[in-house]
Amino acid sequence: MPFVRIQLKEGRSAEQKEALAKEIINTMDSTDFASQDSIRVIFEEMKDEDFYSGKDMK
């Protein structure tokens, strides 16, 4: 059972996340990577104050 974990800043709508999850699941299924029923997509959202990158430190 494949798990696809997506880490991102909060702010996307439930509809956007659902659309992305469907595309990921359909692609994995159509390329025979795994069957749709076995795929899990997990979104892990971070608050702005919990995310930093090097470009933010300049």
Q: Which of 1, 2, 27, 44 is catalytic?
A: 2
**20-to-12, 49, 53, 56, 57 alpha-carbon distances in Å:** 11, 25, 24, 27, 30
2 is catalytic: yes
Please tell me the distance from the alpha carbon of residue 52 to that of residue 42, in angstroms, as a whole number: 21
Question: Which residues carry out catalysis?
Answer: 2
